[in-house]
Amino acid sequence: MKKLIGIFLILFSIATFFSCDDKDDNVEEPYLIIKFKFDPNQVRLNNLGQPAAIPSGHAAQSPDFSKISAHYFELAPTAYTQLGSGTILYHADETTQGGGVAIDFSKAVIVGDDEAFLRIPLSQVAQGNYEYVRVSLAYQEYTISVRNAGNDYLGKLASFVGYNTYITTHNIGNNSFPVNGNRLQGYWAFALNDFPYATSGQSPVGATTVPNPIAATSPIPAGSCVVTGKFAQNLVINGNETRDVVITLSLSCNNSFEWEEVVSDGKYEPSIGENVVDMGLRGLIPTYIK
């Protein structure tokens, strides 16, 4: 009997040993996770990251955002870190199928509010002390209000704010927009929610607002959409993290859809010649949880 008990204890110890080993092997390493949020009440900024009012003769509205995509992320240690010299976390697929180099929209990652856009093992993120986040936005989709013949309608707008985007055919609901080519920053398409009406267009070159509060020390290329935001407290990655680090990029959509008014009523009415002049997001406030 004693011999049987001894054998049982030995077997139990071996099983416990391998069980503990298996448990350790299954521990998932921590990730850097990046999410977006859209805030219509966040301060409205200009290209230099300063508070900005709506210009005279213009009007604007705060769109109801549903989707967004980006094609580039970077963590920058200081205000003097030049674009591309920080820690690059992500660079989306590009193509020359339409001629020049362009973002490949067919491969874009598109997410909604508070959805994870990016998950990177923290072991693959360079250790450092980071003061800024830089994100190049590529695509926005949101609902706006449009007036026609005295009536207001809701519709969905697809806004391509990347430097250059190669698009085959994109869709808004049941509406298809065949492009099959490159479109520079400012291309947009629009469809009413409940009526069979759709159209597309192009905002003026250089009209898209891209807030960069460190423009004096670290400028961005013209025509890009690299929005820059500063952490309230520097993000420190030291390589000893045991939990996920979640970065939330809060984007200001405070009166971010802007047009030139023909009738000064604060209503966007394209049928009378009111033209879109700006679809750029109006600021970035990054926060993180460790």
pLDDT at res. 218: 98
Categorize the per-residue pLDDT at 20 as very low, low, confident or very high, splitting at 50, 70 and 90: very low
Tens of pLDDT along 124-165?
Answer: 999 999 999 999 999 999 999 999 999 999 999 999 999 999
Do 197 and 206 meet the contact criterion of CB atoms below 8 Å apart? no
Tens of pLDDT along 78-124?
Answer: 999 999 999 999 999 999 999 999 999 999 999 999 999 999 999 99
Q: Which residues pair with 198 in a beta bridge?
A: 191
pLDDT at 11 over 50: no
Examine residue 6 and state whether it is found in any structural domain, yes or no.
Answer: no
Examine residue 238 and state whether it is found in any structural domain, yes or no.
Answer: yes
Give the integer Cα–Cα distance in Å for 247 and 243.
13
Examine residue 1 and state whether it is found in any structural domain, yes or no.
Answer: no
Give the integer Cα–Cα distance in Å for 123 and 30.
8
Residue 43's domain comprises 31-289
pTM of the model: 0.88
| Residues contacting residue 66 through CB under 8 Å, at least 6 positions apart | 112, 113, 141, 142, 143, 156
Q: Which of 23-27, 201-205, 233-237 has the lowest mean pLDDT?
A: 23-27
As a whole number of Å, the end-to-end CA separation of the chain is 54
Give the integer Cα–Cα distance in Å for 74 and 90.
7
Examine residue 15 and state whether it is found in any structural domain, yes or no.
Answer: no
Examine residue 26 and state whether it is found in any structural domain, yes or no.
Answer: no
Give the integer Cα–Cα distance in Å for 263 and 270.
11
Tens of pLDDT along 181-222?
Answer: 999 999 999 999 988 899 999 988 888 999 999 999 999 998
- Total structural domains in the chain? 1
Tell which wins on pLDDT, 240 or 24.
240
The overall average pLDDT reported for the chain is 91
| SS (HEC) of the chain | CHHHHHHHHHHHHHHHHHHHHHHHHCCCCCEEEEEEEEECCCCCECCCCCECCCCCCEEEECCEEEEEEEEEEEEECCCCCCCCCCEEEEECCEECCCCCCEEEHHHCCCECCCCEEEEEEHHHCCCEEEEEEEEEEEEEEEEEEEEECCEEEEEEEEEECCCEEEEEEEEECCEEEEEEEEEECCEEEEEECCCCCEEEEECCCCCCCCCCCCCCCCCCCCCCCEEEEEEEEEEEECCCCCCCEEEEEEEECCCCEEEECCCCCCCCCHHHCCCEEECCCCCEEEEEEC
Examine residue 9 and state whether it is found in any structural domain, yes or no.
Answer: no
Tens of pLDDT along 253-286?
Answer: 999 999 999 999 999 999 999 999 999 999 999 9
> Which residue, among 206, 214, 211, 210, has the nearest Cα to 85 in the 3D structure?
214
Provide Rg for the chain, Cα atoms. 24
